[in-house]
Structure 1
């Protein structure tokens, strides 16, 4: 049907949607809260309410409620109706589950990338590595974390399977908080070296080496959990949320 044609009678009552790429109020609230939970400005067990957030951000409760539901679905908030909402504890089971999902998806993605990325694709990955070096030198931990994610996402996109990153992003919430707890300068250097290994294997069209590099990269988090739990034991739970 052409855009100028009228819809059939049985659909004529549907409202006209005005398309927009601008983030909604709920999107902005979600992003602001997610960032603060990820950076541990809002640590596990912190009580948070729709009313307080709405007042602090100068908005109504409806978009806050929508943002809360999205955060709960990703595992950042625990909502108990008629009781209270708190920032979720970090579940070791959820972390290992997220790692398994990422490894299953990203090892195959790296194999696919190794079948031959374009020069533009390789340049995009190389540029992200250079930006990571700058972030480390500047001591910008949050920027490094953002660039880390962009590097993994770019491999998916340049391999023609960008939708895989959407699946990864939905499942890595608890893993991200572990990463932030452990993301000191030494850890950033390790991550950078592993990204370089992944890049070199992909650019050399060595699929198995690329898969091995991403496996090594994603496995390091398991070595960190016990140490982090000892330092922040009241932020963890053995129950998957």
Structure 2
């Protein structure tokens, strides 16, 4: 017997490990700042410094520096050694790019859902619709925004492609800042109606109707961005991020 061949085919005596992710301090600083920027608690042109963030969060400057670099790479911070760091203006080009990516992925996901979603999946989406109605009644804008995301994520989950939401989440941040500028009772009710239309199409297993409803829902930002630029023009730029 060829001993070299036997050695190659023998299983390696290695134990199975359970992967556990523990967010680093830099990850935690990044998430806090990322959430504050997307919610507009840190609006465009807000000046922030490594030293101030480190002091307020009780950490060293190194993880803050790492978080700043990640945010800058995503287009949310401008780091200028001579003049300091500030929250970036909203790039219209970045918003349109994010919309294109999200629309392409969600239309296909919606079509997939029509063929594979279960009754339990439809009930899960219906429950999120009811929670959105309650958030509007409570005038809870932050809650509605989170439930809006949860609805879109649930479609990915029920389609068996939950990983798609990870890609969408990485790209939709620039859209989120625009959404927060427009999220009042009227626009929340409008979004709710569009979510109901998406759910109705999926419930009917009508892939074309689902694609059309998702297209209409995600294309509304084309009108919204022009409206809010007229009021908040100082927060926008035509330059890419």
TM-score, scaled to structure 1: 0.90
Number of aligned residues: 230
Whether 1:175 and 2:179 are equivalent positions in the alignment is no
> In structure 2, how many angstroms separate the alpha carbons of the residues matched to 1:216 and 1:112?
18
Aligned to 2:30: 30
Going from structure 1 to structure 2, the CA distance change for 1:60 and 1:19 (only over 3 Å counts) comes to farther
Aligned to 2:203: 203
Secondary structure of residue in 2 paired with 1:229: helix
> In structure 1, how many angstroms separate the alpha carbons of the residues matched to 2:31 and 2:131?
23
> 1:131 touches 1:147 (CA, 8 Å); kept in 2?
yes
> 1:114 touches 1:202 (CA, 8 Å); kept in 2?
yes
Going from structure 1 to structure 2, the CA distance change for 1:27 and 1:190 (only over 3 Å counts) comes to same
**Unpaired segments ≥5 residues, structure 2:** 1-11
Deviation at 1:178, TM superposition (A): 0.3
**Unpaired segments ≥5 residues, structure 1:** 6-16
Whether 1:100 and 2:100 are equivalent positions in the alignment is yes
Aligned to 2:76: 76
TM-score, scaled to structure 2: 0.90
> 1:25 touches 1:63 (CA, 8 Å); kept in 2?
yes
Deviation at 1:127, TM superposition (A): 1.2
> In structure 1, how many angstroms separate the alpha carbons of the residues matched to 2:169 and 2:131?
21
Q: CA RMSD in A?
A: 1.8
Whether 1:63 and 2:66 are equivalent positions in the alignment is no
Larger Rg: 2
Whether 1:164 and 2:164 are equivalent positions in the alignment is yes
Deviation at 1:62, TM superposition (A): 1.8
Deviation at 1:31, TM superposition (A): 1.9
Aligned to 2:224: 224
> In structure 1, how many angstroms separate the alpha carbons of the residues matched to 2:181 and 2:15?
55
Secondary structure of residue in 2 paired with 1:115: helix
Secondary structure of residue in 2 paired with 1:216: helix
Secondary structure of residue in 2 paired with 1:79: strand
> In structure 1, how many angstroms separate the alpha carbons of the residues matched to 2:61 and 2:80?
17
Deviation at 1:82, TM superposition (A): 5.4
> 1:51 touches 1:61 (CA, 8 Å); kept in 2?
yes
Residues 94-120 of structure 1: per-residue CA shift (max 9 Å, x gap): 111111111111111100001130122
Deviation at 1:2, TM superposition (A): 3.9
Runs of 4+ in 1 over 6 A off after TM superposition: none
> In structure 2, how many angstroms separate the alpha carbons of the residues matched to 1:19 and 1:62?
26
